[in-house]
């Protein structure tokens, strides 16, 4: 395992550091349609997601609101924030597709330009592949997402 340099800005780049310093979608929802939480006991990372559908009970309606709270290292906080931005406005099925694309990205699968366009800012997290010890941190919010999508009933 490589040790991490002192300056995380240089390491992770502007998009990740922006989402780490100014995480989006941290406001808790008053009446979520689904919630999911994941915890990594080895490093103390925690991600808690909430989802509200545009029309409650209809999982073919877009996810109108997402709340993403993450505790732990800079990477999990940036990943949760970017996830929330990426998922809001998508249907459950589209969010599941995005999650699969993101896993493909993090596994180093070659993705066509249309897939990269779909991922948008999420592509910035690919840099974490260089630090295998942080892959679990990146993926933890996505495990919570997939659990939340199952609870919404779409996958
Ligand atoms: Zn972490």
Q: What DSSP element (H or E) covers 19?
A: helix 14-21
Does residue 7 have a pLDDT over 70?
no
Q: Note if the pTM is more than 0.95.
A: no
- How many angstroms is it from 10 CA to the middle of ligand 1? 18
Between CA 75 and CA 138 the distance in angstroms is: 6
DSSP category for residue 21: H
Q: Which residues lie near ion ligand 1 (Cβ < 5 Å)?
A: 43, 45, 72-73, 76, 137
- Looking at residue 62, its pLDDT comes to 96
Residue with tokens 């340099």: 5
Whose tokens are 């249907």? That residue is: 91
48-63 confidence digits (pLDDT tens): 999 999 998 888 999 9
Per-residue pLDDT band for 148 (boundaries 50, 70, 90) equals very high
| Under 8 Å between Cβ of 63 and 95 | yes
Q: Ligand 1 centroid to 139 CA: how many Å?
A: 10
| Cα 128 to ligand 1 centre (Å) | 11
CA 60–ligand 1 middle distance (angstroms): 33
The residues, any chain, with a CB within 8 Å of residue 141's CB and separated by 6 or more, are 38, 47, 49, 68, 70, 76, 79, 80, 83
Q: What is the mean pLDDT of the chain?
A: 92
Give me the architecture of the 8-152 domain, per CATH: Alpha-Beta Complex (3.90)
Task: Decide if pLDDT at 154 tops 70.
Answer: no
Span 16-43, pLDDT tens digits? 999 999 999 999 999 999 999 999 988 8
Q: How far is the CA of 73 from the centre of ligand 1 (A)?
A: 4
> Angle 74-87/135-152 helices, nearest 10 degrees?
30
Of all residues in the chain, what percent carry a pLDDT higher than 70?
93
In sequence order, what are the beta bridge partners of 63? 53
**How far is ligand 1, taken at its centre, from the CA of residue 56, in Å?**
33
């Amino acid at each position: 395992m490589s040790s991490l340099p002192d300056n995380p800005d240089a390491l992770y780049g502007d998009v990740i550091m922006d989402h780490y310093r100014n995480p989006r979608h941290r406001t808790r929802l008053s009446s979520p349609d689904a919630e999911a939480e994941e915890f990594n006991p080895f490093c103390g990372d925690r991600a808690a997601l909430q989802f509200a559908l545009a029309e409650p009970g209809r999982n073919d309606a877009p996810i109108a609101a997402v709340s993403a709270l993450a505790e732990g290292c800079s990477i999990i906080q940036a990943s949760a924030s970017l996830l929330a931005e990426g998922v809001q406005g998508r249907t459950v099925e589209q969010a599941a597709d995005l999650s699969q694309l993101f896993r493909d990205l993090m596994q180093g699968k070659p993705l066509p330009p249309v897939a990269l366009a779909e991922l948008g800012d999420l592509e910035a997290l690919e840099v974490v592949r260089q630090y295998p010890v942080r892959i679990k941190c990146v993926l933890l919010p996505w495990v919570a997402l997939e659990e939340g999508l199952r609870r919404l009933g779409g996958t």
